[in-house]
A and B are shown apart, each in its own frame.
Chain A
Amino acid sequence: MFNFNRNKNRQQGHSPNSNKLHMTDDNSFFARWQRQISYAWRNVLNDFLQHTLAYLLTIIVIAISITLPTIGYLLWKNASEAAHQWSPSPNLTAYLNKNLTAEQTEQLLVKLRSDNEIEKVIYLSREETLDEFKSWSGFSRALDLLNDNPLPAVAIIIPNDATKQTDALHTLQSQLLKITGIDDVRLDDSWFTRLTALTNMVKTLVWTVSIFMIIAVSLVIGNSIRLTIFARRQTIAVMQLIGATEGFILRPFLYSGVFISFISAILALILSEIFILQIDSIILKVSSVFGTVFTIRGLAWDESLLIIFLATIIGWLSALVTTKKYLKIVRIA
């Protein structure tokens, strides 16, 4: 590229009288544009090398601001995954009328099993429930005092996957209650509801924190650029006097916003990854106590790229807003 331009200059040099007053630019628009962009980037890098400490402090602040919602997101992701993996599937417990005969019970069970919302029915007779109750509770002696078995027969109804939602479970419950021979139906979805509520809460929290952090990142970048502009206000004024376009003046500030946020995003990813490694050993210990294996999952490639992309866009936008606003104030005309 440079060789090409040098030849052009030589040609210009050979004919000095050709157009002295009206300087026409021989260089193509693209080449000029490219040189202006590389000039702006060099400007940013020079500035970075001159004020490394100030830049690094800004970058660390932004990186931490990005790390917090990233960690929050990871927690939510893993929690919701764990919830889906481990939550005991919700089931309904139907208490049958004590006066049902064996035949009636059999008919009822057949009826329940034929329902297409129901995956499986486990029947426990009155004797079986009594045994189970005795072995689980500490009341076996007290029960022996009673003449009669106070416990009803129980049908544990496991709904199919489509019905495993809070609303559907409740309709199924009310349907079952209408069947004669069933005294009561208990919905055992407390675990399920709690876990869903918990993961939803984490999700909302992550969202809220993310929004605050986006604002914080924008403000930090805007503020650091405002300081840079203030330090360079004389340069900007001189540039304007000499005939620099607004784009030319804006460019180094925009690039510095992009640069800061890009580096910060990468640093934030590294910090999150360190966090994951830290917590992984703890999780491993905890899960081995519970007798299961659960590995926490870090950020996937697409998620990392999205974070970098988002941070860069935020940096660019806040730099643009700040610089435009400031240039409106210092405009000399």
Chain B
Amino acid sequence: MIQFQHVSKVYSGGKPALQNISFRLKQGEMTFLTGHSGAGKSTLMRLICGLERANDGKILLNGIDVSSLKRQEMPFLRRTIGMIFQDHQLLMDHTVFDNVAIPLIILGKPIEEIRRRVSASLDKVGLIDKMKFYPIQLSGGEQQRVGIARAIVNRPAILLADEPTGNLDEKLSKDILTLFEEFNQTGVTVLMATHNMALIQRKHHRILNLNHGRLEDDSYVQF
């Protein structure tokens, strides 16, 4: 599903962010990406969805080389990926419903279908009764769940989550993690970046550990 082949990334004028990264995620796999701040977790995520371009190596997504895509083709790549951000990236001047509907509006779906799928998506994250609220009226955990609803509304094959629990307490973080596990059980490939080791303890999931831009550890950790 996702394959990195000797990928390196250097930001212009800075130190290398990623060095010679190689790994492979199978379809339907749930994986954590761990590492200290600045280890390159976000950069790796951004490389997958074409927000950054690798300086070296190949990134294959469903067999397509991401770095060979033209700029005009990038939007179509991003539509196949559900992205969740630490700062949720919600539109504050739009209702929860509108926020979740954006990916479908971009696709030009008919209004009936949008209504049905947005409701289903919000139902899944437990926010169906807050459809008409504005993000500012919601708590941090709820805002993050709106972001998740938006990411899954188009039923992507891949979910990328960059520190989705970064600002949340332990209870909310666990809820969100459970949500991701539910999606994973329906066959979605999930890659979640986190530095919260306590959260992913006792989980039988694969862990990729980044350290100063290098892949240190690729293991199924069990404490």
Interface residues of A (CB under 8 A from B): 2, 5-6, 9, 13, 20-23, 25, 27, 31-33, 35-36, 39, 234-235, 237-246, 248, 332-333
A237 to B85, CA, bound (A): 13
A29 to B103, CA, bound (A): 17
Interface residues of B (CB under 8 A from A): 50-53, 71-72, 74-79, 83, 85, 89-93, 102-103, 105-113, 116, 150, 154-155, 157, 186-188
**B residues within 8 A CB of A39?**
105, 108
B102 touching A239, Cβ below 8 Å? yes
8 A-B contacts (beta carbon < 8 Å): A6-B112, A25-B107, A33-B108, A36-B105, A234-B92, A241-B78, A242-B83, A242-B106
**A residues within 8 A CB of B91?**
234-235, 238
A21 to B158, CA, bound (A): 9
Tell which of B74, B108, B150 touches A333, judged by Cβ atoms closer than 8 Å.
Answer: B74
A27 touching B110, Cβ below 8 Å? yes
A243 touching B71, Cβ below 8 Å? no
Contact flag A9-B116 (CB < 8 Å), given A32-B108, A241-B89: yes
**A residues within 8 A CB of B111?**
2
B78 touching A243, Cβ below 8 Å? yes
**A residues within 8 A CB of B83?**
241-242
Contact flag A332-B51 (CB < 8 Å), given A9-B116, A241-B83, A245-B72: yes
Contact flag A21-B187 (CB < 8 Å), given A239-B106, A245-B72: yes
A242 touching B150, Cβ below 8 Å? yes
**A residues within 8 A CB of B85?**
241
A35 to B105, CA, bound (A): 8
Which residue of B77, B90, B155 has the most chain A CB atoms within 10 A of its CB atom? B155
Tell which of A2, A6, A23, A238 touches B89, judged by Cβ atoms closer than 8 Å.
Answer: A238
B75 touching A244, Cβ below 8 Å? yes
Contact flag A245-B75 (CB < 8 Å), given A9-B110, A9-B113, A27-B109: yes
Q: Identify the closest chain A residue to B82 (Cβ).
A: A242
A111 to B183, CA, bound (A): 109
A31 to B52, CA, bound (A): 33
Contact flag A243-B103 (CB < 8 Å), given A9-B113, A23-B154, A238-B91: yes
CB of B89 to closest CB in A, whole Å: 5
A243 to B83, CA, bound (A): 10
Contact flag A5-B113 (CB < 8 Å), given A234-B91, A243-B76, A333-B50: yes
Which residue of A21, A32, A36, A333 has the most chain B CB atoms within 10 A of its CB atom? A21
**A residues within 8 A CB of B77?**
243
For the complex of A and B, 5 pairs with smallest distance between CB atoms: A32-B108, A243-B78, A243-B79, A5-B110, A21-B157
Q: Identify the closest chain B residue to A19 (Cβ).
A: B155
Tell which of A6, A27, A237, A243 touches B75, judged by Cβ atoms closer than 8 Å.
Answer: A243
**B residues within 8 A CB of A241?**
51, 78, 83, 85, 89
